[in-house]
Structure 1
Amino acid sequence: MSSILRILRSVSALWPYYLGVVASSVVTALLTLVSPFLVREATNTIVSVVSGEREAGAVMGTLLLLGLGLLAADVARTLMSNAGGWLGDLMAARMRQILSTRYYATLLALPQRYFDTQVTGTIIARLNRSITEVTQFLRSFSNNFFPMVITLVAILGITGYYYWPLAVLLFLLFPIYFWVTTLTSRRWLVWEKDKNHQIDLAGGRFAEVVGQVKVAKSFVAEIRELGSFSQRFRSTVDTTTVQSRWWHSMDVVRGGAANLVFFGLYLLLFYRTAAGHFSLGDMVMLIQLLGMTKQPVAMMSWIVDSAQRAVAGSRDYFEVMAEPLEATADPQLVAATRASDAPDLEDSVPPALAPAAPVVRFDDVTFSYSPEEDPVVRGVSFEARRGEKIALVGESGGGKSTLVNLLLGLYSPQHGSLEVCGRPVEELSSAQLRACIGVVFQDASLFSGTVRENIAYGRPGATQEDIEAVARRANAHDFIMSFPQGYDTIIGERGLRLSGGQQQRVAVARAMLKDAPILVLDEATSALDNRSERTVQAGLEDLMADRTTLIIAHRLSTIASVDRIITLDHGRIDEIGSPAELATSGGIYSQLLQLTASSSEADRQRLRAFGFGRHDEGDATS
């Protein structure tokens, strides 16, 4: 239960709810205990009439008052129980809000390296399972079991007052229960971990397939994916078969022990009453009190089951929370990962730094994605000045995208230094660094929501006039206004209701509105047809004006218009120069020009290895 206590301590802002739940549980328990005492008095009064000690007429008023007392106690218990339940529900909802916000903040503050080894669906499944099971357990415990525990403690005290062997015999039931439960828990948790692993895999694949359902359909993979998904859950059924059989077998042992203890308790009560030590009313009261202990005892296996699920879930949660955060993460994010309450966040994007010379500077940068792998880039050094356009050229896997990832601060170099706008990146927060850089990816990477929301993603406070202005510059305004809802058109998940060219024009408008001094074009038009590419390229030319632009090269005509070309060969810089200088140097760029003039299939395949496809075939004059 240490994990549960750790959760409770970590959301200490909920202490008023904790106190409210405890207070309502105590009052509910006391009101529950009133009824057996009133029943005892009523029983003794009726026995006195039956035995002839008192007249029936003389006790009717007393019995009426006792009956009204029972009614009042029951009504008050119902009200207090529901008040406590309401507090428990609010506590669980607030706890879910805090834990979920903290989990999300942690994910947003984790370095990119963490996500390289994770499946999105698994991250989501972990959130649902971990936090849902913890909050459901605490809600059930506070609403139902906790009041019963308090009642149980009071009953032990009352039975001990009347006859201490009764209390001792009743108390023995709980060590037996917990001992058998301890024997059960270790094996149960191993099976539960296996089930969670299979559910995470199934959920992760589910999210991937739904997100790329067109791919699954086009490769006629629906049955294969469904079969794999079903098999994951079939394995959980097989595990549950063994797990549940073990759990319920042990529950029979627990239940049998409880039955024997209650058998001894009833015999002891009957004997003491027959021997004259208890009145009939005392016996009826004590039997009622003992009956009240059966429900929490019966619930104990269920509550332990729920607690084990919560403990298993909380371990996954704390594993994520223990991950080291991005060194330059936004201070608000870092604070939110540790906050004891849902924080009030200030959504503000820092202004971009002034483009001091050099705007971008790589100095002997070396980087590998893991210590076991060879460096992806080695000893890379170059500078980019204000307004300069630089193209990165090299074979796939040669380090072009890695340099962009380093520039965005998604990873840190293992060796060398990197400066942006005249400042070392290690002196900048991630927000300051990324405010200086606008990116247009090969995949437009839009979000569900409206066209307006996507264009204004980097500047959520932008006016409609600002949004329309950049949309016109990106050649997007006309097609947007052709929709019945215009800028309020819902574009669907990842912008799937838009064509590829439309998606990219929205992405270009989004980068324009950000108005960062550095622009990165990561093969921004390589996936488009010729007509769409020409339209998007016009917007990109406007976007590149007066900015420092790094282009991951995707066609030779684009490269021909840049100021400098940097060619990469297995992560090292091979050449740096203008298109005219490198065209005759005999290096990679010169080879590319020769390959585009060739009609052989071998040369075309070689060309495609550099990321150049149909756009460049026959384009040797570019």
Structure 2
Amino acid sequence: MSALARILRFTRSLMPYYVGIMIAAAVVTATGLAVPFITGRATDVIVNAVGGSGGEDVVGATIRTVLLLAAALLLAELVDTLVSNVGGYWGDVMSAKMRTILSTRYFEKLLALPQRYFDNELTGTIVARLNRSIAEITNFMKSMSNMFVTLIMTTIAVLIISAWHYWPLAVLLLIAYPMYLWLTALTSTKWQRIEGRKNDHVDVASGRFAEVIGQIRVVKSFARERSELRQFEEHFEATVGLTGEQSRHWHRMDVIRRAVLNVIFFALYAIIFIRTVQGHFSPGDMVMLVQLMAMARQPVTSLSYVVDTAQRAIAGSKSYFEVMDLDHARVGGDGPRPQELTAASTVSTDGPMIAFTDVRFGYDNDDDVLSGVSFEIARGERVAFVGESGGGKTTLMNLLMGLYGTRSGSIEVAGAGADLETLRQNIGVVFQDPSLFSGTIAENIAYGRPDATKEEIVAVARRAAVDEFVRKFPRGYDTVIGERGMKLSGGQKQRIAVARAMLKDAPILVLDEATSALDTKSERLVQAGLEKLMHQRTSLIIAHRLSTIADVDRIITLRDGQIEEIGTPDELAASGGIYAELLALQHSSTAADRKRMKSYDVVG
């Protein structure tokens, strides 16, 4: 119940809806309780009239009385019809608002979580958890708010009325309720454990499903359709077996619960019938009490549904709150992120823009990827990073953007501000994968500046050589490019990514192998756009062509997570280090040398 109480606290802004729904349920309960009394009274009036010897006046009075009682029944039913529908409307709105609250907070939490969390989770699993958990929670809260007051009020009213007429009736009911709840609690523990195992299978299968659909070209290229389908089916087949085990347990316990209930209600009806024969109850009392017992039975049997939805909600809320309770520092590592540059020279245009000081970093509990890394980059300087694949070049860029915390050392950035959002607003990025969204071309270009005008978008599109192919589309910049830009070529997507960084106009630019996946023609177009983008910006470049590296101000080479050399291209060409080795290898035609070049992610 603590999980359900937490849901209520989490959605306390919906309290007016909860109260309104419960008031409606209370009115519906009252009208329902009125029916046995009205029918009981009508029974006594009719029995007295039929058994008496009154004349036409008595018959006429009886008819008027029963018509009034029938009208009272009609009124009760009309009130029930109206109020139950009003409550149903409030329940629908409440459910939609709850879904909005829970979904928005879940998304907000995900957006705030460190990059490390997403490194260890499948995207599809995250989405499946959202859909399943929130659906189960909202379904329960909707049914609970509609049923809870009705169940409680009906139970209390029946107990009081039964005790007033004959106390053993109330005693038997007091035995029935806790007995049924106890047997239900015995059922619940194992049911929830199996439900958790089912949810694990569904989440994994859903996560893989989303991953396969997102990489469908790769799946088809490697003819893995049958294999993926088989793995997907195995997870859902496992849920079938678990559901069978779960259902057998539930229904076996339900037989016991209902059998106990049947025996208790047999005793209740027997008492009512015998006391009516003995003259303690009138026929009207008997009818009223029998109907009340039927109403008393409904709350007990409804517990099965309430408990079932509650169990699903508890299981769902467990998955939901596991994410909501994640500690950012524990997930992302509690190491420091980039801070505002504090050097006195930051006020000068000649001062450093970025400073790494003795930075050490590793993923999770693995060994260090970077160790003792220190360097400074001046304002407006172009710096290339060269090293073997996996040597830590991209990791340096991730640390600069605050995606991970360092194990030790410090990173200082001019204009970093007090939070990561300010830091990232000052950094433009062009990745090897352009990572476009499924909106229009204009929306993708303006992703870093959503308030940009159409004229500003077109201006940067021209500078990035985007305009020349966009003009060929019937809808121009309003062309929808599909998920991850599937309708565009690699060169077109990368030019849009360059335009996006241009429009953001950030003082620091990171180019992470921005042209490595392009053909020669596309690379020339993108490279021309990058040259314009890098103008008067502090640029950090992970490049895969020596021709690009030769144009930078300085080169930083890394080997085994440590800096080996820092210098200009001319200085490092004569030093005998990694860069000099690459220059020598590019003139070699042997297979071994070509393989050695590839290990650096560099070509001539």
Same fold (TM over 0.5): yes
Q: 2:378 aligns with which of 385, 404, 411?
A: 385
| CA distance in structure 1 between the aligned counterparts of 2:515 and 2:283, rounded to whole angstroms | 91
1:410 aligns to 2:400 (yes or no):
no
- Residue identity over aligned pairs, in percent, reads 57
The answer on whether the counterparts of 1:328 and 1:428 sit within 8 Å (CA) in structure 2 is: no
Q: 1:228 maps to what in 2?
A: 231
Q: 2:505 maps to what in 1?
A: 515
Q: 1:583 aligns with which of 573, 592, 596?
A: 573
Q: 1:368 maps to what in 2?
A: 362
In structure 1, give the amino acid aligned to 2:423: L
More deviation, 182-191/452-461: 182-191
Q: 2:541 aligns with which of 546, 551, 554?
A: 551
Give CA deviations for 1:580-612 in whole Å, capped at 9, x if unaligned: 111121100111111111112121111111112
1:570 aligns to 2:582 (yes or no):
no
| CA distance in structure 1 between the aligned counterparts of 2:199 and 2:426, rounded to whole angstroms | 42
Does the residue aligned with 1:452 lie in a helix, a strand or coil? Answer: helix
TM-fit CA distance, 1:172: 1.2
TM-fit CA distance, 1:143: 2.4
1:79 aligns to 2:82 (yes or no):
yes
| CA distance in structure 2 between the aligned counterparts of 1:126 and 1:356, rounded to whole angstroms | 51
TM-fit CA distance, 1:139: 0.6
Q: 1:147 maps to what in 2?
A: 150
Does the residue aligned with 1:566 lie in a helix, a strand or coil? Answer: strand
The answer on whether the counterparts of 1:328 and 1:429 sit within 8 Å (CA) in structure 2 is: no
More deviation, 316-325/540-549: 316-325
Q: 1:203 maps to what in 2?
A: 206
Cα distance change, pair 123–577 in 1 and its aligned pair in 2 (3 A): same
Q: 2:28 maps to what in 1?
A: 28
The answer on whether the counterparts of 1:44 and 1:280 sit within 8 Å (CA) in structure 2 is: yes
| CA distance in structure 1 between the aligned counterparts of 2:521 and 2:501, rounded to whole angstroms | 21
In structure 2, give the amino acid aligned to 1:374: D
In structure 1, give the amino acid aligned to 2:22: V
| CA distance in structure 1 between the aligned counterparts of 2:305 and 2:528, rounded to whole angstroms | 66
Q: 2:388 maps to what in 1?
A: 395
TM-fit CA distance, 1:197: 0.6
The answer on whether the counterparts of 1:358 and 1:385 sit within 8 Å (CA) in structure 2 is: yes
Give CA deviations for 1:480-520 in whole Å, capped at 9, x if unaligned: 12111111100001111111000001100000000000000
In structure 1, give the amino acid aligned to 2:370: V
| CA distance in structure 1 between the aligned counterparts of 2:42 and 2:589, rounded to whole angstroms | 106
- The within-5 A match list for 1:47-58 is 47-52=47-52, 54=54, 55-58=58-61
Q: 2:479 maps to what in 1?
A: 489
Q: 2:39 maps to what in 1?
A: 39
Q: 1:243 aligns with which of 246, 264, 277?
A: 246
Does the residue aligned with 1:100 lie in a helix, a strand or coil? Answer: helix
| CA distance in structure 2 between the aligned counterparts of 1:90 and 1:21, rounded to whole angstroms | 11
Q: 2:353 aligns with which of 329, 349, 359?
A: 359
Q: 1:345 maps to what in 2?
A: none
Give CA deviations for 1:379-405 in whole Å, capped at 9, x if unaligned: 111111111110000111101011000
- The within-5 A match list for 1:205-284 is 205-284=208-287
TM-fit CA distance, 1:144: 3.6
Does the residue aligned with 2:352 lie in a helix, a strand or coil? Answer: coil
Q: Aligned-pair RMSD on alpha carbons?
A: 1.6
More deviation, 293-302/597-606: 293-302
Cα distance change, pair 230–328 in 1 and its aligned pair in 2 (3 A): closer
Name the TM-score, length of structure 2 as normaliser. Answer: 0.95
| CA distance in structure 2 between the aligned counterparts of 1:390 and 1:64, rounded to whole angstroms | 95
The answer on whether the counterparts of 1:189 and 1:308 sit within 8 Å (CA) in structure 2 is: yes
In structure 1, give the amino acid aligned to 2:44: N
| CA distance in structure 2 between the aligned counterparts of 1:33 and 1:356, rounded to whole angstroms | 85
In structure 1, give the amino acid aligned to 2:352: P
| CA distance in structure 2 between the aligned counterparts of 1:450 and 1:604, rounded to whole angstroms | 41
TM-fit CA distance, 1:53: 5.0
Cα distance change, pair 601–587 in 1 and its aligned pair in 2 (3 A): same
More deviation, 541-550/32-41: 32-41
Q: 1:12 maps to what in 2?
A: 12
1:302 aligns to 2:328 (yes or no):
no
| CA distance in structure 2 between the aligned counterparts of 1:230 and 1:512, rounded to whole angstroms | 46
Q: 2:191 maps to what in 1?
A: 188
TM-fit CA distance, 1:232: 0.3
Q: 1:597 maps to what in 2?
A: 587
1:463 aligns to 2:463 (yes or no):
no
Name the TM-score, length of structure 1 as normaliser. Answer: 0.92
In structure 2, give the amino acid aligned to 1:478: E
| CA distance in structure 2 between the aligned counterparts of 1:606 and 1:164, rounded to whole angstroms | 93
More deviation, 467-476/112-121: 112-121
Q: 2:493 maps to what in 1?
A: 503
The answer on whether the counterparts of 1:362 and 1:418 sit within 8 Å (CA) in structure 2 is: yes
The answer on whether the counterparts of 1:458 and 1:514 sit within 8 Å (CA) in structure 2 is: yes
Q: 1:316 aligns with which of 316, 319, 328?
A: 319
Give CA deviations for 1:167-186 in whole Å, capped at 9, x if unaligned: 11112111111111121122
TM-fit CA distance, 1:140: 1.3
Q: 1:92 aligns with which of 91, 95, 115?
A: 95
The answer on whether the counterparts of 2:373 and 2:563 sit within 8 Å (CA) in structure 1 is: yes
More deviation, 186-195/494-503: 186-195
More deviation, 446-455/52-61: 52-61
TM-fit CA distance, 1:188: 1.2
The answer on whether the counterparts of 2:514 and 2:543 sit within 8 Å (CA) in structure 1 is: no
TM-fit CA distance, 1:153: 2.1
Give CA deviations for 1:227-256 in whole Å, capped at 9, x if unaligned: 100110000001111111011100111111
Give CA deviations for 1:98-118 in whole Å, capped at 9, x if unaligned: 111111111111111111111
Q: 1:125 maps to what in 2?
A: 128
Cα distance change, pair 575–188 in 1 and its aligned pair in 2 (3 A): same
TM-fit CA distance, 1:305: 1.3
| CA distance in structure 2 between the aligned counterparts of 1:327 and 1:261, rounded to whole angstroms | 54
| CA distance in structure 1 between the aligned counterparts of 2:144 and 2:443, rounded to whole angstroms | 43
Does the residue aligned with 1:278 lie in a helix, a strand or coil? Answer: coil
TM-fit CA distance, 1:326: 6.3
1:441 aligns to 2:431 (yes or no):
yes
| CA distance in structure 2 between the aligned counterparts of 1:217 and 1:458, rounded to whole angstroms | 34
In structure 2, give the amino acid aligned to 1:13: S
Cα distance change, pair 356–237 in 1 and its aligned pair in 2 (3 A): farther
The answer on whether the counterparts of 1:392 and 1:550 sit within 8 Å (CA) in structure 2 is: yes
TM-fit CA distance, 1:28: 1.1
Give CA deviations for 1:431-464 in whole Å, capped at 9, x if unaligned: 1100110000000000011011111111111000
The answer on whether the counterparts of 2:516 and 2:544 sit within 8 Å (CA) in structure 1 is: yes
In structure 2, give the amino acid aligned to 1:129: R
| CA distance in structure 2 between the aligned counterparts of 1:78 and 1:156, rounded to whole angstroms | 26
